[in-house]
Amino acid sequence: MALASCDSAVSSESSPLHVEYRGSDAAGPETFLLVHGFGASSYTWRHWTPALERRGRVILVDLKGFGASAKPDDGLYGPHDQVALLGALIERDDPGHLTLVGHSFGGAIALLTALAMSERADHRLRRLVIVSGSVYPQRLPPFVTFARYPRLSAAALAVLGPKLVIRAALRAVVADPACVDDRQVEAYAAALRTREGVRAAMAAALQLVPADISAIVDRYPRVEVPTLLLWGRHDRVVPLATGARLAAVLPNARLEVLEACGHVAHEEQPERSLALLERFLAYGNG
């Protein structure tokens, strides 16, 4: 789908996803589809988006239940549900020279989408970028565990307020808590100001790990496109060992480690992480 506009948002009655389009086909042949992590929104990519716009078209997605996307009470918030919606978006837009980018839970969604595309030999997929992806079974971080207890979570949000809860969660996942600012907190707290937003976050927390995760893990080596894995040395949410494990099984992956960095490298160290991304884009062309 060629876009004349350089900055537009699309919501469709047939899809619960809120999608923003940046840049244009005229900037270059590439398309970048960016997927945020649990509890976040496309706001998380604010530091990377301008540079990617200069290379081509950027598609920013709010996953179902997060950000500005719909939050229906249908219980369908698991990884396979999100991948199906992302796949439908890709089919609708039919992007060429696609680079999938995902962070944390969004990294798992991006990897699952790449796996599905690889298995059907979909040559539109050219590259994959995963930032601290939660792609293996692991101990859930406190903020996710907390969200899995509806009454406790609702009570805490009512007493403490979304901003205080989000600020504490963000400060817990970064290497330097001083990097968490008010605008970031407000952006992530917005979705938790509504009953629907809280319900959706809790539903997603209960479904983070798919039931067939063991079978999925066995298929990871089928993703052969050039892949960049970005990890913070001090990631306490998805440890660096996860990145090393994934790098060992993906046939064409490179692991880059950012020192003095936690779980959200693209927000904690935007310039350093973007430099690594741009180097990969220059040489990892497939």
Report the C-alpha gap between 138 and 270 in whole angstroms.
Answer: 27
pLDDT for 200-255, tens place per residue? 988 998 888 899 999 999 999 999 999 999 999 999 999 999 999 999 999 999 99
CATH superfamily of 7-138+210-283: Alpha/Beta hydrolase fold, catalytic domain (3.40.50.1820)
Query: pLDDT category, 3, cuts 50, 70, 90?
Result: very low
Give the closest residue to 284 by CA, choosing from 230, 229, 226, 222: 226
Q: Pick the residue with more confidence: 165 or 122?
A: 122
What is the structure's pLDDT at 1? 30
pLDDT at 121 over 90: yes
What is the structure's pLDDT at 283? 84
pLDDT for 75-116, tens place per residue? 999 999 999 999 999 999 999 899 999 999 999 999 999 999
What is the structure's pLDDT at 72? 96
Domain ranges of the chain: 7-138+210-283
What is the structure's pLDDT at 157? 74
Report the C-alpha gap between 128 and 91 in whole angstroms.
Answer: 18
Residue 180 near residue 162, CB atoms below 8 Å: no
What is the structure's pLDDT at 147? 65
What is the residue-averaged pLDDT of the chain?
Answer: 90
pLDDT at 40 over 80: yes
For 235-268, give the DSSP string.
-SSS-HHHHHHHHHHSTTEEEEEETT--S-HHHH
Average pLDDT, integer, range 133-155: 76
Tell me, what amino acid is at 241? Answer: A
Report the C-alpha gap between 237 and 215 in whole angstroms.
Answer: 23
What is the structure's pLDDT at 161? 84
Tally the residues of the chain.
286
> Token pair 């301008």 is at which residue?
50
What is the structure's pLDDT at 25? 74
pLDDT for 159-193, tens place per residue? 778 899 899 999 999 999 999 999 999 999 998 88
For 95-135, give the DSSP string.
-SSEEEEEETHHHHHHHHHHHHHHHTT-TTEEEEEEES---
Give the closest residue to 236 by CA, choosing from 144, 148, 174, 147: 174
Report the C-alpha gap between 160 and 150 in whole angstroms.
Answer: 15
pLDDT for 255-281, tens place per residue? 999 999 999 999 999 999 999 999 999
What is the structure's pLDDT at 232? 98
